[in-house]
Amino acid sequence: MKRYCMALDLKDDPKMIAEYVHWHQQVWPEVKQSLRASGVESMEIYHFSNRLFMIIEADNTFSFEAKAARDKANPVVQEWEQLMWKYQLLLPGTREGEKWVLLERIFSLEANT
Q: Identify the domain containing residue 98 by its residue range.
A: 2-112
53 close to 45: Cβ distance less than 8 angstroms = yes
Nearest to 34 by CA among 69, 5, 10: 69
| pLDDT number for residue 95 | 86
The tens digit of pLDDT for each residue in 9-60 reads: 999 999 999 999 999 999 999 999 999 999 999 999 999 999 999 999 999 9
Predicted confidence at residue 110, as pLDDT, reads 86
Counting the structural domains of the chain, the total is 1
Taking residue 77's Cβ as centre, other Cβ atoms within 10 Å add up to 19
- pLDDT on residue 113: 67
CATH of the domain at 48: 3.30.70.1090
